[in-house]
Amino acid sequence: MMNDNATGALDVLNGGAAPRLRMSVAGRAVPALSGETRGILNPFDASLVALAPEGGREDAAAAVAAARAAFDAGDWPGLPGAVRGALVSRLGGLIERDAENLARLETIDTGKTLEESRWDMQDIVGIFKYYGGLAGSEGGEVVASPLPDTTSLVVREPVGVCGMICPWNYPLLQAAWKIAPALAAGCTMAVKPSELTPLTTLRLAELAAEAGIPAGVLNVVLGPGATVGAELAESPDVDLVSFTGGIVTGKKIIAAASANVKKIALELGGKNPNIVFADADLDAALEGALNGVFFHAGQICSAGARLMLEDSIHDEFVARLAERMARIRMGSGMDGATQMGPLISAEHREKVARYVALAQEEGARLELGGMVPDDPALARGFFFTPTLLTGCTNAMRIVQEEVFGPVISVERFASEEEAVARANSTVYGLSAGFWTSDAARQQRVSSALRFGTVWINDFNVYFVQAPWGGYKQSGMGRELGRAGFEEYTEQKHVFSNHASRPVRWFGI
Ligand code: NAD
């Protein structure tokens, strides 16, 4: 590892004064060119945990230039896939070695429980190992040419320099979904974590260097979306921009990326229906309704925040759900007894509270929660109580828009047709789940739902082997699975004529 590669992220775990972090550009740990910094807060108690460089467009341009040089003049894209894959897998091994420290950094940054962060790290290890293995498995494809005395070969090549813009809810996990396949494919990259949650991505840059991934291949640049993110989306030196975040920002990325027709991969939000039919195992469905929303205080793109209940089970299900929600224990993510941590920021909590107030103005009934908890131990953090709204209808904004908080809106339905039609009446199409014991209904409903992932008798399950992504305005392209690797490749058709002779098309 280069000595000047230390970003300071690990120093956060030492306690004491908030360390000054550095970004990782061209294998060197650097401050923002302007020298500016931003305070990183722990959402549990709003304490200052670090001072992060507040980069600008010039820092993003430097990160892109480093990635461009590593792609155009470096060894990385041309290494045999298996050699690259071994380094990607080795990086997975280092993440495994350091999983506990990484999990602690993630909990400090996001407020989520340490148990959730530990799961995230195990997922991330699996992602790097999966794509490390896939890198060596690419062998191209021979196509039977229809023309005599010719051969036709289709190969995959790295797409080039990637700009990666990541959200704050799963900082390292969402970054890993991009970085691991892109590295495996032979791309180089400038990665921008959310300005709120830089710690684990900075540490990843250090681990990449330790794994032997060459300087300049993986650059991490920090700063606001409007400058650093916009530069990555606009830069003519970026070949592909991969973005995970909200739909409004996603539309800006599409516009910015159109300037040089760069490739775009978008993972945008979701408003995900969770439909419970009366013939379901209701105990399992109840657990599914809780698990579908309250991980990470509902700050999950696939949260089943839109609960749809068949008429005949509605009242009992709501009563049981409210009883369970009232018992969710809030607290520090570092405390093993905590089941739900805070929201990411005071600003985000205000947004969630506004949605709950708006739902009531639109006619929804507040059954539970909808407030800042009165526990003095939580007073400095950005907590919001688990919230249950009933009497919701399709037209309400609480049903149609992403709240990204610990809030469930409940709709009722009378028939399968009504449930499917209503579930599909959204601009989003990320994920949906439904609960039924009827096998024929499982087939009918799963094919009728217009979502990138459909869960039958479960919710919020994903793994690296299967693709993840959205129908409709939930995104473009897929992450995870083989499709998530192919996003970072271009296909090239190499055609050879073995009996070439003048064709005299234009005469002499
Ligand atoms: P966001 O859109 O506010 O920000 C995401 C990233 O984009 C951040 O790094 C931000 O700095 C950057 N950004 C902001 N403005 C930009 C601009 N003009 N140009 C370029 N970059 C810009 O989203 P967020 O609040 O960080 O994350 C929450 C959102 O992410 C939710 O909508 C959630 O559904 C979505 N999300 C989706 C998935 C998925 O897999 N589909 C996964 C996680 C999160």
User: Is 236 among the domain residues?
Assistant: yes
Do 356 and 375 fall into the same domain? yes
DSSP calls for 445-503? HHHH--SSEEEES--S---TTS-B--SGGGEES-BSHHHHHHTTEEEEEEEEETT----
If asked whether residues 82 and 185 sit together in one domain, one would say yes
Nearest CA residue ID for atom 39, ligand 1: 267
Identify whether 26 is part of a domain.
no
Which residues of the chain are modeled with pLDDT < 50? 1-2
Give the SS3 label for residue 238. coil
Distance separating alpha carbons of residues 133 and 89, to the nearest angstrom? 7
- What pLDDT sits at residue 2? 44
Handedness of CA 448, 307, 456, 278 (dihedral sign): negative
Residues 449 and 360 placed together within one structural domain of the fold:
yes
- Select from 200, 128, 187, 121 the least CA-distant residue to 158: 187
Cβ density class 280-313: b for 16+ within 10 Å, e for less: bebeebbebbbebbbbbbbbbbbbbbbbbbbeeb
Tally of structural domains, the chain:
2
Half-sphere exposure of 447 (CA within 13 A, CB side): 5
C-alpha dist (Å) from residue 483 to 27, 282, 466, 477, 488: 29, 35, 9, 8, 9
Can you tell me which atom of ligand 1 is nearest the CA of 233?
20
CA-CA distance, 388 to 369, in Å (whole number)? 7
Q: What is the CA(126)–ligand 1 centre distance, in A?
A: 24
Residue 390 lies in a domain: yes
Note whether 242 and 321 are same-domain residues.
no
| Residue 245 CA, ligand 1 centroid: distance in Å | 2
Q: Give strand pairing partners of 74.
A: none
Q: Which of 249, 254, 271, 351 to mutate to test the pocket of ligand 1 (most atoms within 8 A of CB)?
A: 249
Q: Which residues of 80-97 are buried (b: 16+ CB within 10 A; e: fewer)?
A: ebeebbbbbbbbbebbbe
Residue owning the nearest CA to atom 10 of ligand 1: 225
**Inside any domain, residue 209:** yes
Do 313 and 434 fall within a single domain?
Answer: yes
Determine how many CB atoms are found less than 10 A away from the CB of residue 480: 21
> Rounded to whole angstroms, how far apart are CA atoms 257 and 162?
12
Q: Are residues 284 and 429 in the same domain?
A: yes
Best residue among 194, 195, 247, 427 to mutate for probing ligand 1, ranked by most atoms within 8 Å of CB? 194
| Nearest CA residue ID for atom 19, ligand 1 | 230
Mutation pick for ligand 1 pocket among 109, 112, 165 (CB with most ligand atoms within 8 Å): 165
Q: Is residue 464 a part of any domain in this protein?
A: no
Nearest CA to ligand 1 atom 9: 194
| Cα–Cα distance, 106 to 171 (Å, whole number) | 8
Contacts of 298 (CB under 8 A, 6+ apart): 305, 403, 404, 405, 406, 407
Q: Whose CA is nearest to atom 15 of ligand 1?
A: 225
How far does the centroid of ligand 1 lie from the alpha carbon of residue 95, in Å? 24
What size, in residues, is the chain?
Answer: 508
pLDDT in tens, 212-270: 999 999 999 999 999 999 999 999 999 999 999 999 999 999 999 998 999 999 999 99
Same domain, 299 and 316: yes
CA gap 29, 19 in Å, rounded: 14
Find the Cα–Cα–Cα–Cα dihedral 310, 311, 316, 318, rounded to 10°: 70
What lines the ligand 1 site, CB under 6 Å? 165-170, 174, 192, 194-195, 224-226, 229-230, 233, 244-246, 249, 252-253, 267-270, 301, 402, 404, 430, 470, 475
pTM summary value: 0.97
Same domain, 188 and 213: yes
Please give the Cα distance from 198 to 269 (Å, whole number). Answer: 21
CA of 306 relative to ligand 1 center, distance in Å: 21
Compute, in angstroms, the gap from residue 74 CA to the centroid of ligand 1.
31
Atom 20, ligand 1: residue with shortest CA distance: 229
Order of strands across the sheet with 150-158? 141-143, 150-158, 489-497
**Is 461 contained in some domain?**
no
Q: How far apart are CA 434 and CA 448, in angstroms?
A: 12
Site to probe by mutation for ligand 1, drawn from 110, 169, 174, 460 as the one with most ligand atoms within 8 Å of Cβ, is 169
Q: Which atom of ligand 1 is nearest to the CA of 267?
A: 41
Is 16 within a domain?
no
Centroid of ligand 1 to alpha carbon of 165 (angstroms): 7
Looking at ligand 1, which atom is closest to the CA of residue 475? 41
Catalytic residue ranges: 267, 301
C-alpha 50 to ligand 1 mean position (Å): 22
- 408 and 259 in one domain? no
Going by CA atoms, what residue is nearest to atom 14 of ligand 1?
A: 225
Residue nearest to atom 30 of ligand 1 (CA): 245
205 and 286 within one domain = no
- Co-location of 187 and 240 in the same domain: yes
Q: Measured in whole angstroms, how far is the alpha carbon of residue 97 from the centre of its chain?
A: 23
Distance CA(223)–CA(225), nearest Å, equals: 7
- Closest ligand 1 atom to Cα of 269: 34
Instruction: Give residue 508's pLDDT.
Output: 66
Q: Residue 232 maps to which CATH number?
A: 3.40.605.10
Under 8 Å between Cβ of 265 and 243: yes
Count helices and strands in the chain by DSSP H and E runs: 15, 20
380: amino acid identity, one letter: R
Same structural domain, 449 and 316? yes
Domain span at 358: 273-456
Distance (Å, whole) CA 468 – CA 32: 34
CB atoms within 10 A of CB 264: 20
76 alpha carbon to ligand 1 midpoint, in Å?
Answer: 29
SS3 content of the chain, % helix, strand, coil (to 5): 40, 20, 40
Closest ligand 1 atom to residue 248 Cα is: 2
- Residue whose CA is closest, atom 38 of ligand 1? 301
In a domain, 30, yes or no: no
CATH number for position 346? 3.40.309.10
